Chains A and B, each alone.
Chain A
Amino acid sequence: MCSKQCKSSGESKKVTFEKQWFYLDNIIGHSYGTTFEVTNGGSLQPKKKKEEPTSETKEAGTDNRNIIDDGKSQKLTQDDIKALKDKGIKGEEIVQQLIENSTTFRDKTEFAQDKYIKKKKKKYEAIITVVKPSTRILSIMYYAREPGKINHMRYDTLAQMLTLGNIRAGNKMIVMETCAGLVLGAMMERMGGFGSIIQLYPGGGPVRAATACFGFPKSFLSGLYEFPLNKVDSLLNGTFSAEMLSSEPKDSASVEESNGTLEEKQTSEQEKEDSVAEAQESHHPQEQETMEIVSQDPEYKEPKERGSKKDYIQEKQRRQEEQRKRHLEAAALLSERNADGLIVASRFHPTPLLLTLLDFVAPSRPFVVYCQYKEPLLECYTKLRERGGVINLRLSETWLRNYQVLPDRSHPKLLMSGGGGYLLSGFTVAMDNLKADPSLKSNASTLELHKTEEPAAKKRKCPESDS
């Protein structure tokens, strides 16, 4: 599996995938899920399903007692096979020839024959299926191709996060991720353009290379905000101001830089990823021969024509101003402290992130923290207990087992464990202000006051007030 960008229809772009190269021009106009065969530098569209010649009675052995590995069972030499390939003979015909020239094939058991054919097909029949991007595809792809970029978050772990975090249309979510924008994209898919997401980012700007692969419509971007993580403290203690985003010369320089290079960075990262992916292709023999096409969103694309230097500077300033405005909107949204949930999945230590960012979340809302390692979450668990304002803390992990299901040959394929990361999840509740400091009572939210009269809050629980 590999992610590639499908540029506008007129443009011919050479794409490399699983040691093959081809142009994507021919795939346009077909439905997703269509399978193509690679020929000399282009894509053709062969039939969807091949009629398997299963009707003929096949000859097969019952066991391998007489099969000797003498290395001479294949009568075609390496050179013969290369010659066939160079002649441009179809992959399936080469496979047929290999079978015919294998002296042991007829003695193999039916299952072994099956396996032999499958292996050869994989090698000689270059079949490529074009599929639509989705969280499913992209999270499986990233976990297989670029696990380091997403902190080794396995796709079933991401699925748990979306469910535990109750991600759905209409929410106001806060996310802090360094997973190439994959977690952000997964949230955007589940929210369908309804509601808002505030992404807190470290460094010069949010990374959204994976997000771009989803091909989201532009409308999904209107509810997408970003805010620099290093301004969070000032936002919480009230010292944040609009000037902080632009007036400091040092700061503005970095913003400027990020403004000018954000898209470039994403594009180049994408390219880097692709080339790394290509380089690694041979190391993933069990990979499905599938790739998905990504229609690149103009928003993520580097402006094609830069024009003169002067125009460029103006453009830069305009963007800078736009970004500043967006940051202020994000700051205002955060300051309401009524977010519907918090998702954290980064390479940073999760404890300080959580202890700080939870202040932006309303009571009775879920939060989920991902960490590649269990130990930081143990600490986070303890610190959250000390802080209070949370219930149903749960430290968990999922194991995923894959099955081969074939007649008389069903068994587990692969047990993945450990490598998929850990989750700490729970719900926020109102802080126990009444008990701790009665003078704060007047400051308590309406919700808190309401509790004394008609207490049981939905989803927020009252163990503290009862005990």
Chain B
Amino acid sequence: MSFVAYEELIKEGDTAILSLGHGAMVAVRVQRGAQTQTRHGVLRHSVDLIGRPFGSKILYSTDIALLTMMLELRPGSVVCESGTGSGSVSHALIRTIAPTGHLHSVEFHQQRAEKAREEFQEHRVGRWVTVRNQDVCRSGFGVSHVADAVFLDIPSPWEAVGHAWDALKVEGGRFCSFSPCIEQVQRTCQALAARGFSELSTLEVLPRVYNVRTVSLPAPDLGAGPGPEAGPDASPFRSGTPMKEAVGHTGYLTFATKTPG
């Protein structure tokens, strides 16, 4: 498989996504002699469920898309990130910056940091990412003046703004912080302005997904008597109806630019 290049055939050790219909998906690690139970029956091939539900990643992809573009990421970009978390953003970043870029990811939770390292190895993207187990607010990103972009997804991003500045190249770069609460955004913006960041902009992007269905509304009985006129007015139509449950809020994305001088 490989997360950073397409391959034609499945190999042992690959991560495969099984689509079970109606958007239900499951990620499996392909292994000889293993089995996978799905509601469509057993997959009689050598696959093993690692069971990493994709829910969170799907929810985030809208935000990830926007931050990737607004951070101006591209092949060759050097990016600093904290925290690593489940690695959902990390994988997206790696895909974008490969094969010449690098991701410096900081996670202060030791177990999570190790789990992420393991996963990066499993997914064979280890060469594009360095995971550091430290507190970004105290110790920074472990690199200085190398990054083109910094992405923060931590509870107190304002405490890491100074480290973000130091991690970014002297020539400058882009900053993004993801926070669910407006108070966090407020403090982050203040810290950014104080540190000399410019071009501050806070955005929120909401996905809206539609069901495609054919709808037909019954014609009302106005007492006109039964006739052939279920006619043109009441004919069925195709509609894109919003999903019942829509994403209301994930977080605010605050962007800024570092420029020299």
Q: Do A and B come from one complex?
A: yes
**Chain A contacts to B: CB under 8 angstroms:** 31-34, 48-49, 134-136, 139, 155-156, 158-160, 162-164, 166, 168-171, 186, 189-194, 340, 362, 365, 374-375, 377-379, 381-382, 391-403, 405-407, 410, 412, 427, 446-447, 450, 453-463, 466-467
Tell which of B91-99, B139-147, B154-162 binds the partner. Answer: B91-99
Q: Is B180 an interface residue (CB 8 A)?
A: no
What B residues does A405 contact at CB under 8 A? 182, 185-186, 189, 200, 202, 254
B47: shortest Cβ distance to chain A, in Å?
5
Inter-chain CA distance A377–B239, complex, in Å, is 10
Contact between A456 and B209 (Cβ–Cβ < 8 Å)?
no
Contact between B18 and A398 (Cβ–Cβ < 8 Å)?
no
14 pairs of residues in contact across A and B, judged by CB atoms under 8 Å: A32-B171, A33-B198, A48-B261, A49-B261, A168-B96, A190-B74, A379-B238, A382-B212, A382-B238, A401-B203, A459-B17, A463-B21, A463-B40, A467-B21
A417: shortest Cβ distance to chain B, in Å?
8
What A residues does B240 contact at CB under 8 A? 374, 377-378, 395
Contact between A403 and B202 (Cβ–Cβ < 8 Å)?
yes
Given B6, B96, B171, B252, which contacts A190 in the complex, CB threshold below 8 Å?
Answer: B96
Tell which of B62-70, B102-110, B129-137 binds the partner. Answer: B62-70
A290: shortest Cβ distance to chain B, in Å?
8
A196: shortest Cβ distance to chain B, in Å?
13
What A residues does B66 contact at CB under 8 A? 156, 159-160
Contact between B204 and A168 (Cβ–Cβ < 8 Å)?
no
Contact between B210 and A396 (Cβ–Cβ < 8 Å)?
yes
Q: A159-B66, A159-B69, A456-B16 are in contact. Are A402 and B100 (CB under 8 A)?
A: no
What B residues does A457 contact at CB under 8 A? 10, 16
Given B189, B257, B259, which contacts A31 in the complex, CB threshold below 8 Å?
Answer: B259
A210: shortest Cβ distance to chain B, in Å?
15
Which residues 158-190 of B sit at the A interface, judged by CB distance below 8 A?
A: 171-172, 182, 185-186, 189-190
B228: shortest Cβ distance to chain A, in Å?
27
Contact between A407 and B190 (Cβ–Cβ < 8 Å)?
yes
What B residues does A467 contact at CB under 8 A? 21, 40
Q: Which residue of A lies closest to B261 (CB)?
A: A48
Contact between A403 and B96 (Cβ–Cβ < 8 Å)?
no
Per-residue 0/1 for B202-229: is the Cβ within 8 Å of any A Cβ (1 yes, 0 no)?
1111111111100000000000000000
Contact between A398 and B208 (Cβ–Cβ < 8 Å)?
yes
Contact between A340 and B99 (Cβ–Cβ < 8 Å)?
no
Q: Which residue of B lies closest to A31 (CB)?
A: B260
A391: shortest Cβ distance to chain B, in Å?
5
B80: shortest Cβ distance to chain A, in Å?
19
Inter-chain CA distance A150–B210, complex, in Å, is 23
Interface size, chain B (Cβ < 8 Å): 78
Contact between A170 and B5 (Cβ–Cβ < 8 Å)?
yes
Contact between B40 and A458 (Cβ–Cβ < 8 Å)?
no
B190: shortest Cβ distance to chain A, in Å?
7
Interface of B is mostly: mixed
Q: Is B15 an interface residue (CB 8 A)?
A: yes
Contact between B208 and A396 (Cβ–Cβ < 8 Å)?
yes
Given B19, B69, B209, which contacts A155 in the complex, CB threshold below 8 Å?
Answer: B69
Contact between B186 and A410 (Cβ–Cβ < 8 Å)?
yes
Contact between A49 and B196 (Cβ–Cβ < 8 Å)?
yes
Inter-chain CA distance A168–B93, complex, in Å, is 10
Inter-chain CA distance A378–B213, complex, in Å, is 9
What B residues does A456 contact at CB under 8 A? 10, 16, 18, 28, 30, 36, 43, 45, 47
What B residues does A160 contact at CB under 8 A? 62, 65-66
Q: Which residue of B lies closest to A404 (CB)?
A: B202
Q: Is B51 an interface residue (CB 8 A)?
A: no
Inter-chain CA distance A381–B206, complex, in Å, is 22
What B residues does A466 contact at CB under 8 A? 38, 40-41, 43
What B residues does A459 contact at CB under 8 A? 1, 16-17
Which residues 227-258 of B sit at the A interface, judged by CB distance below 8 A?
A: 238-240, 252, 254, 257
What B residues does A377 contact at CB under 8 A? 240
Q: A403-B185, A405-B202 are in contact. Are A135 and B69 (CB under 8 A)?
A: yes
Q: A190-B74, A396-B208, A456-B30 are in contact. Are A34 and B185 (CB under 8 A)?
A: no
Contact between B261 and A34 (Cβ–Cβ < 8 Å)?
yes
Contact between B99 and A194 (Cβ–Cβ < 8 Å)?
yes
Contact between B206 and A168 (Cβ–Cβ < 8 Å)?
no
B37: shortest Cβ distance to chain A, in Å?
11
Inter-chain CA distance A136–B205, complex, in Å, is 15
Q: A403-B203, A405-B185 are in contact. Are A463 and B19 (CB under 8 A)?
A: yes
What A residues does B96 contact at CB under 8 A? 168, 190
Contact between A395 and B172 (Cβ–Cβ < 8 Å)?
no
Contact between B69 and A169 (Cβ–Cβ < 8 Å)?
no
A368: shortest Cβ distance to chain B, in Å?
11
Q: Which residue of A lies closest to B44 (CB)?
A: A455
B32: shortest Cβ distance to chain A, in Å?
9
A334: shortest Cβ distance to chain B, in Å?
17
B41: shortest Cβ distance to chain A, in Å?
6
Contact between A136 and B16 (Cβ–Cβ < 8 Å)?
no
What B residues does A407 contact at CB under 8 A? 186, 190
Given A190, A381, A412, which contacts B212 in the complex, CB threshold below 8 Å?
Answer: A381
What A residues does B68 contact at CB under 8 A? 159, 162-163
Q: Which residue of B lies closest to A380 (CB)?
A: B212
Given A33, A193, A462, which contacts B43 in the complex, CB threshold below 8 Å?
Answer: A462
Inter-chain CA distance A459–B19, complex, in Å, is 8
Given A31, A155, A190, A461, which contacts B172 in the complex, CB threshold below 8 Å?
Answer: A31
Q: Which residue of B lies closest to A461 (CB)?
A: B19
Contact between B259 and A192 (Cβ–Cβ < 8 Å)?
no
The winner among B19, B185, B238 for most chain A CB atoms within 10 A is B19
What A residues does B36 contact at CB under 8 A? 456
Contact between A33 and B100 (Cβ–Cβ < 8 Å)?
no
What B residues does A453 contact at CB under 8 A? 45
Q: Which residue of B lies closest to A288 (CB)?
A: B199
